[in-house]
Amino acid sequence: MANKVVIYTTPECVYCKITKEFFKKNNVVYEEKDVSVDDKARNEMVDKSGQLGVPVIDIGGKIIVGFDKEILLKFIDMK
């Protein structure tokens, strides 16, 4: 089974948009959590990543901060 992919975003974050577009292009199913309105998700993201910045991407427990095409490709290939 494919790893669950969660992306934590804010509405105006360009790298969040780029990451989502990248997922769509590569047929990756993902769940999006908008931390600007979802306080629970915001705390969850900060706990998981130790980061105060978006996007944070959780691929089956692996935490990736920011958009890095090559790192994402690596994790997606592993599925």
Partner 1 sequence: MYDVIIIGGGPAGAAASVYTGRKKIKTLLLTDSFGGQSIVSDNIENWIGIKKISGFELAKMLEDHVRACEEVEIKMPEKVDKVIEAKNGFRVETNKNTYQAKTLIVASGGRRRRLNVPGEEKFNGKGVSYCSTCDAPLFKDKEVAVIGGGNAGLEAAIDLIHYASKIYIINHGSELGGDPSTQEEIRKSPKVVVINNAETQEILGDRFVTAIKYLDKQSNQVKELSVGGIFVEIGSIPNSEFMKGLVEMNKAGEIIVDHRTLATSKPGIFAAGDVTDEIYKQNNISAGDAIAAALSAYNYLLNIKKQSPAYENKNSN
**Closest distance of CB 14 from partner 1, Å:** 5
* 61 touches 16 (CB < 8 A): no
**Closest distance of CB 27 from partner 1, Å:** 20
Where along the sequence are the contacts to partner 1 (CB under 8 A)? Answer: 10-18, 35-36, 39, 42, 46, 50-54, 65, 69-70
Number of Cβ within a 10 Å radius of residue 78:
10
**Closest distance of CB 25 from partner 1, Å:** 12
> Which residue's CB is nearer to partner 1, number 47 or number 77?
47
Phi and psi at 32, nearest 5°, equal -105, 135
